[in-house]
Amino acid sequence: MPYAVNAKNLMLDALKGTNPTTPITHAGLLDAGTALTGVTSVTSTDTFTSTAHGLANGTIVILTAKTGGTALVAGDANNANELAWPYFVITTAANTFQVAFASAGAAVDHGTDVTAVTVTPLGELTGGSPAYARKAIAFAAAAGGTMDDTTNGAVFDVPAAATVDYVSFWSALTAGTLLGIDKVTAETFAAQGTYTVSDADLDLNG
């Protein structure tokens, strides 16, 4: 159903910590790794199969180009506005893995067999001098069904050879809970540099 603006405001205020008390407090940057193509699954075990996938438990992944798997949410790799949900890899073996909504959650139901899907791992940036770190972010009260940041963005130190593919939103400076991702135009840094997020707005479209 379509949400009224007042309902959106209530939910957005919850995201910033009014209730519950685990708000978005920091923003970070994610680099997309090598995509696994032609991944399949069966609903009897909700397990993906991909030979020598190399994914570790806890890895954030997104799904694109999905055929089947009616209960899984995938995005369009060619459309930045068609965002895929972030999943977390769990119960890995050499050639199989499952995904969950949380890093230590239960396996997500696939609905139907997946005959093909592209699985892209996302890793948070590390290293550099000055070293990369998440940046604090805070939000104003919701209005008009959206919520604007009061910190007016952030400037991140980015190490050489890193690519910024997503801005991420977390509940803590380190570790914490991933609360959202936003796909951005990919930018690769040949040398140490800075990446500026000039503004961050939250809504309930995703």
Whether pLDDT at 83 is above 50: yes
Whether pLDDT at 94 is above 60: yes
Whether pLDDT at 97 is above 60: yes
Q: What is the CATH number of the domain that holds 48?
A: 2.40.30.180
Domain match, 177 and 151 both: yes
- The predicted model gives 103-117 an average pLDDT of 95
Whether pLDDT at 131 is above 80: yes
Read off the pLDDT band of 20 (50, 70, 90): low
- The predicted model gives 61-69 an average pLDDT of 94
Whether pLDDT at 82 is above 70: no
pTM score, two decimals?
Answer: 0.91
- The predicted model gives 101-120 an average pLDDT of 94
Whether pLDDT at 139 is above 80: yes
- Cα–Cα distance measured from residue 122 to residue 79, given in angstroms and rounded to the nearest whole number: 17
Domain match, 134 and 76 both: no
- The predicted model gives 28-52 an average pLDDT of 97
- Cα–Cα distance measured from residue 197 to residue 148, given in angstroms and rounded to the nearest whole number: 13
Last residue of a domain, one of 64, 91, 123: 123
Give me the torsion for CA of 60, 66, 69, 71, rounded to 10°: 60
Domain match, 118 and 70 both: yes
* pLDDT reported for residue 170: 92
How many folded domains does the chain comprise?
A: 2
- Positions of E strands within 35-77: 36-42, 47-49, 60-68
- The predicted model gives 39-49 an average pLDDT of 97
- Cα–Cα distance measured from residue 176 to residue 173, given in angstroms and rounded to the nearest whole number: 7
- The predicted model gives 41-67 an average pLDDT of 96
State the alpha helices, DSSP H only, in the chain: 5-15
Domain match, 37 and 114 both: yes
What domain range is 64 assigned to? Answer: 32-123
Last residue of a domain, one of 97, 123, 149: 123
- Cα–Cα distance measured from residue 87 to residue 4, given in angstroms and rounded to the nearest whole number: 28
Domain match, 43 and 145 both: no
Q: Which of 66-80, 109-123, 186-200 has the lowest mean pLDDT?
A: 66-80
